[in-house]
């Protein structure tokens, strides 16, 4: 994650000083509300002054995310024609990242137009000024940025929203280059910013809404999901009526048995027959996919996804992930994303939804919160009525509300996963009715620990914790890769975690490169991470169900790393692969239709160069992805998602 960025531009040279913004802004002001999970968590206000030489914006941006303040200040000066003169920005762009940037443009050495001064997704006021520049300078498709980069801008259409007084006509823009993927921006006809839907430097979706139009945000969130997914619909591959996958090495994911020189027939998105060459006739007119030298596996699952933007769709598929469990999202957004994919208007995996519920307090997230048992039960019913598969409990839910949520979910045939709320233990959460738990830390915290935070695996407390989890059939989603990233030494190459790091979109490279800890602190946590790996092995050996989840990470690719860590922990490659195929299908009661390659099931499968059963890293060599009988080329999917190659 980008911690600091210190760039100064003057006459083509780096300089060491820069004017600070005024301490007491003056001029006319406008305010935007900032949202995460549709919750109002802060605001951005700008003050504008106009004089003969410039238009000056003083900007204050601040939100509080799960109890952590994220403050940012900026000053932008432009000419009356919105040509940039200077830009200064200082503060935080997420809970974990900071920025300190300054640009001063000298006329004699200014770059060739079109160019503008922007540094990331925030403040939104600067993006509004960028669009004003774009309008006044020929609406170029590409604008060069200072201090670095380029941005693509496109007028994508118009939306009319009904308000209490009159219809509101908004122009809709797509901007790419400031974050990974596309931002959606709405302005009025005069170019005033109304809504910006983007992603912050933590990778979380963030919305900015003009104060006077706050009540329109839910409608624009839903439209953003649909429009974002539809950006890729023209690139979608049509479904072939019949497909024959021939001469691959087909793996029975439950037993590990292989069929060499296999034939798999697919018709209308379903697997119809499996056998060997010569024994299974290939229908006339079927599309033939040659799989020589390749292993054929079921499509992968990510059991801890957060589908924050449209680009996750092709990114997941490119890595061979054909099903995800979305573990908490904005209600309107994830519903629209799933609907768009299911109707064939977007590119992405199957989505199972776990509806998030949090409680009151400063560390809470989102607007779906339950303060009483009655409220908890009502929210569960709302999710059930909207077709959600599961409930996810977050960290601020009170114990009596946890029990009410679980009771109502079970009454309606749903299961419950999530965090263990503050003040509770995993044992208390499970005793209250939780079926599944996200993150290995909650198992680790039950165990007897030494003064250096390592686990005493011989202590009766540790044994009792494992006995409890086993006897209560708790499903654990470890997300080991998250903890590997948290405990990573910042001096170590990040390619150990992600060999394809250099192919990530540049905004993502900047986001990840500094994640981790200073070397001395990372050294202290190495034994803790090794113990977390040991816990995964102990859980597996006791027959406790483990499902592979990433909590986002490197888009799509982190599923591969999660399975590699399971193998490092002592699971066989087959055992690791099962945690991302048939086991999650069983857990989510989907194994009758997916999770393995069998006649009658959905045609969700991948062709991999090499043999992941002997070398798990071969799973990174996905060459063809088939989801519901639609054939995708990973290289084309990565291009859709903005990967460099």
Average pLDDT taken over every residue of the chain: 93
Determine which of 48-62, 233-247, 484-498 has the lowest per-residue pLDDT on average: 233-247
Tell me, what's the pLDDT at 13? 25
CA–CA distances in Å: residue 258 to residues 57, 164, 254, 255: 65, 64, 11, 9
Portion of the chain with pLDDT greater than 70, in percent: 96
The H or E element that residue 331 is part of is helix 331-342
CB-based contact 153:147 (threshold 8 Å): no
The 10s digit of each residue's pLDDT in 107-120 is 888 888 999 999 88
Q: How confident is the model at residue 238 (pLDDT cuts 50, 70, 90)?
A: confident
E strands present in 66-107? 68-78, 84-94, 97-104
- At residue 5 the predicted structure's pLDDT band, cuts being 50, 70 and 90, is very low
**Nearest partner of 393 among 414, 412, 411, judged by Cα:** 414
pLDDT confidence of 234, banded at 50, 70, 90? low
* Mean pLDDT of the 204-212 span: 94
Q: What is the mean pLDDT of residues 20-31?
A: 70
Residue 24: band (very low, low, confident or very high) from pLDDT cuts 50, 70, 90: low
pLDDT digits (tens, 9 = 90+) for 47-100: 999 999 999 999 999 999 999 999 999 999 999 999 999 999 999 999 888 899
Nearest to 304 by CA among 330, 332, 323: 323
pLDDT for the residue 163:
82
Question: For residue 6, is pLDDT > 80?
Answer: no
CA–CA separation, 393 vs 447, rounded Å? 22
Give the pLDDT score at 23. 57
| Mean pLDDT of all residues in 503-526 | 91
- Report the distance separating Cα 254 and Cα 245, nearest Å: 20
Give the E-state strand segments of 188-257 in sequence order. Answer: 193-199, 205-210, 242-251
* Mean pLDDT, rounded, for 395-410: 98
Q: What percent of the chain has a predicted confidence (pLDDT) above 90?
A: 86
Neighbours of 43 (CB within 10 A): 16
pLDDT at 397: 98
- How many CB atoms are closer than 10 A to CB 358? 26
Q: Say what the pLDDT of residue 614 is.
A: 96
| CATH 3.20.20.140 in the chain, residue ranges | 357-602
Q: Is the pLDDT of residue 475 over 90?
A: yes
Q: What's residue 10's pLDDT?
A: 26
Class of domain 357-602: alpha beta
Query: What pLDDT score was predicted for residue 175?
Result: 97
Q: How many CB atoms sit inside 10 A of residue 493's CB? A: 11
> Is pLDDT of 523 > 70?
yes
- Residue 16 pLDDT more than 70? no
pLDDT of residue 477: 98
Helices 460-471 and 519-541, interaxial angle, to 10°? Answer: 50
CB 200 within 8 A of CB 219: no
Distance of CA 157 to the CA centre of its chain: 26
Chain segment 251-276, per-residue pLDDT in tens? 999 999 999 999 999 999 999 999 99
Give me the pLDDT at residue 190, please. 94
* Model pLDDT for residues 348-388, shown as the tens digit of each residue: 999 999 999 999 988 899 999 999 999 999 999 999 999 99
Q: Is the pLDDT of residue 233 over 80?
A: no
Q: Which stretch of DSSP H or E encloses residue 302?
A: strand 300-305
Among 640, 636, 634, 573, smallest CA distance to 318 is for 634
DSSP character at residue 234: G
Q: What is the mean pLDDT of residues 561-566?
A: 98
């Amino acid at each position: 994650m980008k911690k600091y960025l210190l760039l100064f531009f003057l006459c083509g040279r780096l300089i060491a000083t820069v004017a600070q913004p005024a301490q007491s802004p003056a001029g006319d002001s406008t305010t935007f509300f900032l949202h995460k999970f549709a919750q109002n968590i802060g605001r951005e206000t700008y003050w504008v002054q106009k004089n003969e030489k410039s238009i000056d914006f003083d900007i204050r941006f601040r939100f509080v995310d799960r109890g952590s303040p994220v403050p940012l200040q900026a000053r932008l000066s432009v000419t009356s024609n919105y040509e940039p003169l200077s830009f200064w920005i200082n503060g935080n762009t997420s809970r974990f990242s900071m920025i300190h940037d300054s640009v001063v443009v000298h006329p004699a050495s200014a770059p060739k137009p079109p160019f503008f001064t922007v540094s990331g997704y925030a403040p939104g006021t600067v993006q509004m000024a960028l669009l004003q520049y774009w309008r006044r300078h020929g609406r170029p498709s590409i604008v060069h940025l200072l201090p670095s980069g380029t941005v693509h801008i496109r007028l994508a259409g118009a939306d009319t929203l009904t308000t209490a007084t009159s219809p509101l006509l908004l122009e809709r823009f797509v901007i790419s280059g400031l974050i990974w993927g596309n931002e959606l921006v709405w302005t009025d006809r005069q170019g005033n910013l109304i809504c910006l839907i983007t992603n912050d430097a933590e990778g979380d979706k963030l919305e900015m809404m003009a104060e006077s139009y706050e009540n329109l945000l839910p409608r624009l969130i839903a439209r953003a999901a649909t429009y974002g997914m539809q950006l890729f619909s023209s690139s979608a591959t049509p479904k072939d009526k019949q497909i024959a996958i021939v001469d691959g090495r087909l793996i029975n994911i439950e037993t590990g048995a292989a069929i060499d020189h296999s034939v798999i027939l697919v018709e209308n998105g379903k697997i119809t027959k499996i056998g060997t060459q010569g024994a299974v006739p290939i229908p006339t007119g079927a599309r033939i996919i040659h799989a020589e030298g390749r292993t054929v596996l079921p499509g992968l699952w990510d059991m801890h996804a957060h589908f924050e933007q449209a680009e996750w769709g092709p990114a997941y598929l490119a890595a061979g992930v054909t099903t995800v469990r979305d573990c908490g999202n904005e209600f309107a957004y994830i519903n629209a994303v799933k609907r768009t994919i299911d109707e064939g208007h977007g590119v992405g995996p199957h989505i199972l939804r776990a509806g998030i519920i949090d409680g009151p307090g400063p560390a809470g997230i989102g607007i779906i919160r339950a303060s009483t048992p009655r409220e908890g039960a009502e929210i569960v019913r709302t999710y059930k009525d909207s077709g959600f598969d599961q409930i996810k409990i977050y960290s601020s839910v009170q114990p009596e509300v946890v029990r009410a949520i679980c009771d109502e979910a079970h009454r309606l045939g749903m299961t419950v996963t999530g965090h263990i709320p503050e003040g509770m233990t995993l044992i208390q959460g499970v005793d209250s009715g939780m079926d599944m738990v996200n993150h290995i830390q909650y198992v680790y915290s039950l165990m007897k620990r030494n003064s250096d935070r390592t686990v005493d695996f011989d202590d009766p407390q540790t044994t009792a914790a494992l006995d409890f989890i086993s006897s209560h059939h708790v499903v654990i989603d470890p997300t080991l890769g998250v903890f590997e990233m948290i405990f990573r030494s910042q001096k170590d190459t990040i390619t150990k975690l992600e060999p394809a790091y250099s192919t990530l979109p540049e905004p993502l490279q900047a986001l990840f490169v500094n994640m981790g800890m200073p070397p001395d602190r990372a050294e202290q946590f190495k034994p803790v991470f090794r113990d977390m790996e040991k816990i995964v092995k102990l859980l597996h050996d006791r027959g406790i169900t483990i499902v592979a989840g990433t909590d986002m990470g490197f888009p799509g690719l982190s599923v591969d790393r999660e399975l590699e860590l399971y193998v490092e922990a002592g699971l066989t490659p087959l055992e690791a692969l099962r945690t991302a195929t048939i086991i999650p299908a069983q857990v989510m009661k989907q194994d009758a239709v997916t999770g393995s390659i069998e006649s009658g099931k959905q045609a969700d499968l991948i062709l991999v160069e090499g043999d992941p059963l002997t070398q798990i890293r071969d799973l990174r060599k996905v060459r063809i992805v088939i989801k519901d009988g639609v054939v995708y080329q990973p290289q084309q999917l990565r291009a859709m998602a903005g990967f460099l190659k």
